[in-house]
Amino acid sequence: MKAVLFDLDGIITDTAGYHFLAWKSLAKKLGMELDEEFNEQLKGVSRTDSLELILKRGQLENTVTLAEKERLAASKNEVYNQMIKQMNASDSLPGIESLLIDLKTNHFLLGLASASQNGPAILKKLGLYDLFDTIVNPAELSAGKPDPEIFQKAAEQLGCSVSECVGIEDAAADVESINRAKMVSIAVGDKEVLHAADKVIKTTNELTVDLIKTIWTECCEIN
Ligand code: BG6
Ligand code: MG
Q: Can you give the CATH number for the domain in which 110 is found?
A: 3.40.50.1000
102 and 206: one domain?
Answer: yes
105 and 184: one domain?
Answer: yes
* 63 CA → ligand 2 middle, Å: 30
What are 200's strand-pairing partners? Answer: 187
* 102 CA → ligand 1 middle, Å: 27
115 and 44: one domain?
Answer: no
Measuring CA to CA, which residue among 183, 140, 204 is closest to residue 175? Answer: 183
CA gap 124, 88 in Å, rounded: 9
Find the helix or strand (DSSP H, E) in which 165 lies: strand 165-169
Domain span holding position 217: 3-14+88-222
Q: For position 221, what pLDDT does the model report?
A: 85
Q: Please, which pLDDT band fits residue 135 given cuts at 50, 70 and 90? A: very high
- Domain count along the chain: 2
Q: Which of 84, 112, 140 is the last residue of a domain?
A: 84
147 and 175: one domain?
Answer: yes
65 and 135: one domain?
Answer: no
Measuring CA to CA, which residue among 155, 170, 146 is closest to residue 96? Answer: 170
Q: Is 177 in the pocket of ligand 1 (CB under 6 A)?
A: no
37 and 78: one domain?
Answer: yes
CA gap 162, 165 in Å, rounded: 5
Q: What CATH number is associated with residue 29?
A: 1.10.150.240
Judging by DSSP bridges, how do beta strands 165-169 and 3-6 pair with one another?
Answer: parallel
Q: Whose CA is nearest to atom 1 of ligand 1?
A: 44
Going by C-beta distance under 8 Å and a sequence separation of 6 or more, which residues neighbour residue 108? 1, 2, 3, 4, 209
**Which protein residues have a CB closer than 5 Å to ligand 2 (ion)?**
7, 9-10, 170
Provide the CA 16 distance to its chain's centre, in angstroms. 9
Say if CB 142 and CB 166 are below 8 A apart. no
Mean pLDDT of 176-204: 97
Find the helix or strand (DSSP H, E) in which 115 lies: none
101 and 183: one domain?
Answer: yes
Q: Which of 84, 113, 142 is the last residue of a domain?
A: 84
Ligand nearest to the CA of 172: 2
Q: Which of 84, 109, 128 is the last residue of a domain?
A: 84
Which atom of ligand 1 lies at the shortest distance from residue 19's CA? 8
63 and 92: one domain?
Answer: no
Q: Could you read off the pLDDT of 7-19 as tens digits, one per residue?
A: 999 999 999 889 9
For residue 148, the 8-state DSSP code is T
43 and 10: one domain?
Answer: no
Q: Could you read off the pLDDT of 157-179 as tens digits, one per residue?
A: 999 999 999 999 999 999 999 99
Q: For position 41, what pLDDT does the model report?
A: 87
Q: For position 26, what pLDDT does the model report?
A: 96
